[in-house]
Amino acid sequence: MPISLSHLRRYAIARSLFKPTTLKRAIQKLGFVQADPIRAPARAQDLTLRHRVNGYRAGDLERLYPELAIEEDFFVNYGFLPRIHHALMHPRRVRIRSSPKRLRQTAEILDFVRERGAVHPREVDAHFAHGRVTNWFGGSSNASTQLLDHLHYRGLLRVARRDGGTRVYVAREAAAELPIAPGEAKALAALKMDALVDVIVRKYAPLPGGSLGFLVNRLQYGAPQWAKERRAALARAKQRLPHARVEGIDWYWPAEERPQSVRWRLDEEVRLLTPFDPVVWDRRRFEIFWNWVYRFEAYTPAPKRKLGYYALPLLWQERVIGWGNLTLIDGRLSAEFGFTDGKAPRGSRFGAALEAELERVRTFLKTSKLSAG
């Protein structure tokens, strides 16, 4: 059976919105959960997991993180991933020119964390008083926080837990590296890059060729030591992954799956998705599937916003038919919606499904008793 755009669309939704399971299994199945600090009405990682974990409540990932075999780190974006995937990117070798002062500061902080154990950034700041620096966004942040971030990125520190959303660090003792011949090192790099590409494809499939190339390119941040291997890794991926040309675009997906299979069934539920949910994350694919432009506008000046501060794409059946903006006001959930057709679908089915989704959101925002599973 020839693969159609409808096959790909249904496949993308059904494979990602799998039957809810335990938190541990959901993270393993996703392979990577992108993080974002904005709460509207909860953080992106929580909004992603609530669709995929039985009984999930806002904050469960942060609360249960120490019990899970996962790490916080940068992959193609910053987020949470199983340790088996995290290990593919490390030891991470970073070429950064640092002044003698910065080198001394990072060495002092690393010794401090090793001596103290789990350390909150304010403890480091209070001990060293490094002052403030300009951050990546042009604002001001504690120099100590930036130095801790640098040590974490290099793999010398890991996140042990979060306290009120703030990362608490412990030292990571580097594993001994065995000597390896140059030819073997290149082969090992290729194997690890291919494995990282597979993590990407399992998370975001089916992927248009342009999106696959974009995501492979972003591995320069997760595995900077192999940045020069990206082009070869992409070429290998396009050769080894199943693919098809549909309406003039090449699409790629995992080897064990068939987009046209009848197993990819959709339900009647309405879902409000975070902008970082794998169903809608790829804006190129979004426009191909649903023929309208979605933009994340949290950092857009308010007068220029068209959808809202943190507009959640509104999925029903196999269409993203609009968006919703959810806010908590005095503990009560307030919701405003917009629709691509200018109005909500007719009939009672959609209205009942939307109300059921809002009730799920209200429950999700309540106190949790979930275990890691």
Encode the chain (373 residues) as per-residue pLDDT tens digits. 799 999 999 999 999 999 999 999 999 999 999 999 999 999 999 999 999 999 999 999 999 999 999 999 999 999 999 999 999 999 998 877 778 888 898 999 999 999 999 999 999 999 887 665 555 545 556 788 899 999 999 999 999 999 989 999 999 976 656 667 777 888 999 999 999 999 999 999 999 999 999 999 999 999 999 999 999 999 999 999 999 999 999 999 999 999 999 999 999 999 999 999 999 999 999 999 999 999 999 999 999 999 999 999 999 999 999 999 999 888 899 999 999 999 999 989 999 999 999 999 999 999 666 667 7
Cβ atoms of 310 and 325 within 8 Å: the answer is: yes
How is residue 67 annotated by DSSP? G
Q: Which residues contact 206 (CB under 8 A, 6 or more apart)?
A: 8, 11, 12, 251, 252, 253, 259, 285
Per DSSP, the residues of 163-228 read ETTEEEEEE-PPPPPPP--HHHHHHHHHHHHHHHHHHHHHHH-SEEHHHHHHHHHTHHHH-GGGGG
Cα separation, 204 vs 286, whole angstroms: 12
* Fold for the domain defined by 100-132+141-171: Arc Repressor Mutant, subunit A (1.10.10)
Compute the distance between CA of residue 41 and CA of residue 111 in angstroms, rounded to an integer: 39
Torsion of CA 191, 197, 201, 202, to 10 degrees: 50
* Helix extents (H) in 230-281: 230-240
Query: Is-contact 279 14, C-beta < 8 A?
Result: no
| DSSP at 254 | -
How distant is the alpha carbon of residue 347 from its chain centre? 35
Q: Specify the residue for token string 């030891």.
A: 91
